[in-house]
Homo-oligomer: A and B are copies of this chain.
Amino acid sequence: MPIVMKNDATESQVAAVGAVIRAMGFTPQPMPGIQRTTICVLGNKSRVDSSQIEVMDGVMEVIHVTKPFKLVSREGKEPTVVRVGANAFGGAALPVIAGPCAVEDRARFLEIAEIVKEAGATMLRGGAYKPRTSPYAFQGLGENGLKIMAEAREKTGLPICTEVMDTDTVELVSEYTDVIQIGARNMYNFSLLKRVGKQKKPVLLKRGLSATINEFLMAAEYILSEGNWNVILCERGIRTFEEQTRNTLDLSAIPIIHELSHLPIIVDPSHASGRWDSVIPLARAAVAVGADGLIVEVHQNPKEAFSDGPQSLKPDKFLNLMQDIRLIAKSVGRQV
C-alpha cells in the first residue's frame, strides 16, 4: 500500500503518516523521490483500511495493491466446479438453463419444460417472485409458482433455478429450488447475500446493473464468507448510454473473471439485450469467449408472456440456438 505524498508535503506530515502506520502495527518506509515522497507499508498481511490515512494533511493518494477479495480470489486455488444434478458449472460440458421469465400457469410451464428439455436444456428457469420496475406489473405467483416448478422437475428430471427477492422467503424458496438466484437488482442487497450464504443450495448470482467486476466479486465474497462456496456468477449486461439494447453485454468480463476468481461464470443473453433477435448471436459469442454455461428465456408464445416477451425465444429459435452453440462449444474444446 504505497502512500503518495503531495510534492509540497512537509517532513512533519511525512512523519505523521509514519506514526499512524506504526500505530496500526506496521512499518512505514519513506521513499523520497525528486518530486515527492512515497511511503511504503511493510508488514501487512492483508488489505489495510486506509481511510484514516487518506484524509491526512500532505497525502495525495493511497494506492491499494492487494486485491480486496480473498475467498473468491483465484490466487492459490483451482477453478471451482458447482454441481447441480447432472450439471457441472465450470466443467467441460456447458449447462444450459432455459424457460420462461415467469411461471404464469401450471399447464403452460409443464409444457415449456418438456419442450426445452427436448431441445437440450439441462436445467429449468422460471420466476415465482418477480422484481418489477412498476408495482402495478405482474409480481409472480409466489409459492404456487414454486410448486409448479417442483412438479416440472419431477416430470422432466431437470433441476430448477428460481429467484429469491428478500430474506423473508429464503427458507421457503430454498426448500423448493435446486439453485437460488439473486437477481441483478439485489446484487448489493447485502442482507440477502448473507442469508443465502447461510443456506446450503447453490446460488446463481447476477451482476448488478452498474456493478464493476470488483463489486460483483465482492458480492460473491459475502456469500462465501458465510460458508456457501457453491456460487455461480452470471454476466447479464451493464447499463450504458446505448439505447438500442436494454443493457450492454460485457463479454470481456468472462476472461477477466476467470483470471481473478475460481468461480464459474455463465451468461444471460436474454436480459442483456432485451431483444430476442440478438439472443442467438450473443449466445454463440458467450460460448466462444469461454462462458461456463447459459441461461436463456424461452416461451411458447412470447406475444402472450406476462413479462419480458420481447426478449423470449420461441421454441424453434431455441432449437436453433442449441444447434449453434453445440458447434461453437466444440470449437473451444467444450460440449453442450
List the interface of chain A (C-beta within 8 A of B): 2, 4, 7, 20, 29, 31, 33-36, 38, 40, 42-45, 47, 49, 51-56, 60-61, 63, 65-66, 68, 70, 75, 131-137, 165-168, 185-186, 188-192, 194, 208-210, 212-215, 218, 221-222, 225, 238-245, 248-256, 259, 272-273, 275-278, 281-282, 284-290, 302-310, 312, 324, 327-328, 330-332
Across the interface, A277 reaches (CB within 8 A) one of B56, B60, B135, B259, namely B259
Q: Which residues of B contact A47 (CB under 8 A)?
A: 136
Across the interface, A61 reaches (CB within 8 A) one of B7, B65, B186, B282, namely B65
Nearest Cβ in chain B — how far from A11, in angstroms? 18
Please tell me if the beta carbons of B221 and A135 are within 8 angstroms of each other in the complex: yes
Please tell me if the beta carbons of A278 and B305 are within 8 angstroms of each other in the complex: no
Across the interface, A165 reaches (CB within 8 A) one of B168, B185, B191, namely B191
Asked whether A288 and B281 contact (CB < 8 A) given A54-B309, A134-B68, the answer is: yes
What CA separation (Å) do A256 and B331 show in the bound complex?
25
What CA separation (Å) do A120 and B40 show in the bound complex?
42
Across the interface, A189 reaches (CB within 8 A) one of B60, B63, B166, B238, namely B166
Please tell me if the beta carbons of B303 and A55 are within 8 angstroms of each other in the complex: yes
Nearest Cβ in chain B — how far from A256, in angstroms? 5
| Nearest-neighbor residue (CB-CB) of A7 within chain B | B75
Please tell me if the beta carbons of B51 and A65 are within 8 angstroms of each other in the complex: no
